Structure 1
Amino acid sequence: MDDKTNKPGKQGDPLHGITLKVMLEKLQQEYGFEGLGWRIKVKCFIENPSMSSSLKFLRRTPWARKKVEELYLSTFCKK
């Protein structure tokens, strides 16, 4: 545990140790690609979505990855 924040992970980062693949798998299970496309307006979730194509896009597109991280946090890391 981080002494200052009392949260697990490096510097209190709740995403520490969680890969993009794990985040996307959990979000896809929770919302499906249709729900992801509704919440995050990116083509990889809307047109012919697949885990592989979504991961490729998100790894190359920092602003979209940030949106996925924010959705993951708001869905699974509520206080």
Structure 2
Amino acid sequence: MENLQSKDPLHGLTLQRILEQLVDFYGFDTLGELIKINCFTANPSIKSSLTFLRKTDWARKKVEDLYIKTIPKLKA
């Protein structure tokens, strides 16, 4: 049997885990500079950011794209 493993770097990750890793790595200040959305700049929290990102596809895509670019730095 072949070992079928997804090549999608987001496979198996929740949006919450992605966001927590980005906040741990960058902090909300830098995250707000990299992705210009109010949930990262105006009184940010994981909970409020998740609420917004789950409702807003374009913002979620930006967060996922940043996470993919950040993966090599997280593993270093």
TM-score calculated relative to the size of structure 2:
0.87
Structure 1: 5+ residue runs without aligned partners? 3-7
Seq. identity, %: 56
- From 11, 31, 54, the equivalent of 1:59 is 54
Shift of 1:58: 0.2
**Paired residue for 1:48?**
43
Kindly indicate whether structure 1 or structure 2 has the higher relative contact order, using CA contacts under 8 Å at least 6 residues apart: 2
> Which residue in 1 is equivalent to 2:64?
69
Query: 1:31 and 2:26 equivalent?
Result: yes
Instruction: Give the C-alpha shift of residue 56 in structure 1.
Output: 0.2
Deviating above 4 A after TM superposition, structure 1's stretches of 4 or more consecutive aligned residues are none
Hey, what's the Cα distance between the residues in 1 that align with 2:15 and 2:35?
15
Q: Which runs of 5+ in 2 are unaligned?
A: none
Q: Give the structure-1-normalised TM-score.
A: 0.84
RMSD: 1.4
Shift of 1:77: 4.5
